[in-house]
Amino acid sequence: MAATVSLVVGSLVWVEDPDEAWVDGEVLEVNSEDIKVLCTSGKTVVVKASNVYPKDAEAPPCGVDDMTKLAYLHEPGVLENLRSRYDINEIYTYTGNILIAVNPFRKLPHLYDSHMMAQYKGAAFGELSPHPFAVADAAYRQMINEGISQSILVSGESGAGKTESTKLLMRYLAYMGGRAVAEGRTVEQQVLESNPVLEAFGNAKTVRNNNSSRFGKFVEIQFDQSGRISGAAIRTYLLERSRVCQVSDPERNYHCFYMLCAAPSEDIQRYKVGNPRTFHYLNQSNCYELDGVDDSKEYIATRRAMDIVGMSTDEQDAIFRVVAAILHLGNIEFAKGKEIDSSMPKDDKSWFHLRTAAELLKCDEKLLEDSLCKRVIVTRDETITKWLDPESAATSRDALAKIVYSRLFDWLVDKINSSIGQDPDSKFLIGVLDIYGFESFKTNSFEQFCINLTNEKLQQHFNQHVFKMEQEEYTKEEINWSYIDFIDNQDVLDLIEKKPGGIIALLDEACMFPRSTNETFAQKLYQTFKNHKRFSKPKLSRSDFTICHYAGDVTYQTELFLDKNKDYVVAEHQALLSASKCPFVSSLFPPLAEESSKTSKFSSIGSRFKQQLQALLETLSSSEPHYIRCVKPNNLLKPSIFESKNVLQQLRCGGVMEAIRISCAGYPTRKPFYEFAERFSILAPEVLDGSSDEVTACKRLLKKVGLEGYQIGKTKIFLRAGQMAELDARRSEVLGRSASIIQRKVRSYLARRSFVLLRLSAIRIQSVCRGDLTRKIYEGIRREAACLRIQRDLRGHLARKAYKELCSSAVSIQTGMRGMAARNELRFRRQTRAAIKIQSQCRKYLARLHYLKLKKAAITTQCAWRGRVARKELRKLKMAARETGALQAAKNKLEKQVEELTWRLQLERRMRVDMEEAKTQENAKLQSALEDMQHQFKETKELLRKEHEAAKMAAEVVPVIQEVPVVDHEMLEKLTSENESLKELVSSLEKKIDETEKKFEETSKISEERLKQALEAESKIIQLKTAMNSLEEKIIDMESENKFLRQQNVSSTAVRKSFEHPPIPPMQSLDNGHLGDEETRLNEPLSSTPSKKFGTESDVKLKRSQLDRQHENVDALISCVSKNIGFNHGKPVAAFTIYKCLLHWKSFEAERTSVFDRLIQLIGSCIENEDSNDQMAYWLSNTSTLLFLLQRSLKSAGSTGATPSRKPPTPTSLFGRMTMGFRSSPSSNNLAAAAALAVVRQVDAKYPALLFMQQVAAYVEKIYGIIRDNLKKELHSLLNLCIQAPRTSKGGVLRSGRSFGKESPSTHWQNIIDGLNTLLCTLKENFVPPVLVQKIFTQTFSYINVQLFNSLLLRRECCTFSNGEYVKAGLAELELWCCQAKEEYAGLSWDELKHIRQAVGFLVIHQKYRISYDEITNDLCPILSVQQLYRICTLYWDDNYNTRSVSPHVISSMRVLMTEDSNNAESSSFLLDDNSSIPFSVDDLSNSMQEKDFIDVKPAEELLENPAFQFLLE
3-state class (DSSP) for residue 1376: helix
Catalytic residue among 81, 155, 212, 396: 212
Residues 6+ apart with CB under 8 A from 1273: none
Q: Say how many CA atoms lie within 13 Å of 847 toward its Cβ.
A: 6
CB 149, CB 143: distance < 8 Å: yes
Closest residue by Cα to residue 1187 from 1258, 1268, 1262: 1258
Q: Where are the beta strands (DSSP E) in 1084-1224?
A: 1127-1128, 1131-1132, 1194-1196
- Please indicate whether residue 163 is annotated as part of the active site: yes
CB atoms within 10 A of CB 1399: 25
Taking the C-alpha atoms of residue 1470 and residue 1430, their distance in angstroms, rounded to an integer, is 10
- DSSP label at 1147? G
Closest residue by Cα to residue 316 from 263, 364, 379, 277: 263
Does the bond joining 500 to the residue before it have cis omega, within 30 degrees of 0?
yes
Taking the C-alpha atoms of residue 886 and residue 954, their distance in angstroms, rounded to an integer, is 20
Closest residue by Cα to residue 561 from 612, 506, 614: 506
- Please indicate whether residue 666 is annotated as part of the active site: no
- Please indicate whether residue 158 is annotated as part of the active site: yes
Closest residue by Cα to residue 650 from 252, 217, 103, 251: 103
Strand partners, 430: 150, 221
- Please indicate whether residue 1221 is annotated as part of the active site: no
Q: Tell me the DSSP string of 783-833.
A: HHHHHHHHHHHHHHHHHHHHHHHHHHHHHHHHHHHHHHHHHHHHHHHHHHH
Catalytic residue among 194, 206, 213, 455: 213
- Please indicate whether residue 681 is annotated as part of the active site: no
Taking the C-alpha atoms of residue 316 and residue 309, their distance in angstroms, rounded to an integer, is 11
Q: Tell me the DSSP string of 1206-1262.
A: -PPPPP-SHHHHHHHHHHS---HHHHHHHHHHHHS--EEE-HHHHHHHHHHHHHHHH
- Please indicate whether residue 209 is annotated as part of the active site: yes
Altogether, the residues listed in the chain come to a count of 1514
Catalytic residue among 156, 159, 202, 606: 159
Catalytic residue among 202, 437, 655, 1387: 437
CB 255, CB 199: distance < 8 Å: yes
Taking the C-alpha atoms of residue 1303 and residue 979, their distance in angstroms, rounded to an integer, is 102
Phi, psi of 1215 (to 5 degrees): -65, -40
Taking the C-alpha atoms of residue 95 and residue 1457, their distance in angstroms, rounded to an integer, is 31
Catalytic residue among 16, 26, 96, 163: 163
Taking the C-alpha atoms of residue 860 and residue 1048, their distance in angstroms, rounded to an integer, is 20
Catalytic residue among 158, 558, 1185, 1322: 158
- Please indicate whether residue 439 is annotated as part of the active site: yes
3-state class (DSSP) for residue 487: coil
3-state class (DSSP) for residue 54: strand
- DSSP label at 1418? I
Residues 6+ apart with CB under 8 A from 95: 66, 67, 68, 78, 656, 659, 660
CB 1005, CB 915: distance < 8 Å: yes
Catalytic residue among 188, 439, 473, 1041: 439
CB atoms within 10 A of CB 454: 23
Does the bond joining 424 to the residue before it have cis omega, within 30 degrees of 0?
no
Catalytic residue among 16, 20, 178, 209: 209
Taking the C-alpha atoms of residue 1359 and residue 63, their distance in angstroms, rounded to an integer, is 13
- Please indicate whether residue 1030 is annotated as part of the active site: no
Closest residue by Cα to residue 1077 from 1096, 1099, 1092, 1097: 1099
Active site residues: 158-159, 163, 209, 212-213, 437, 439
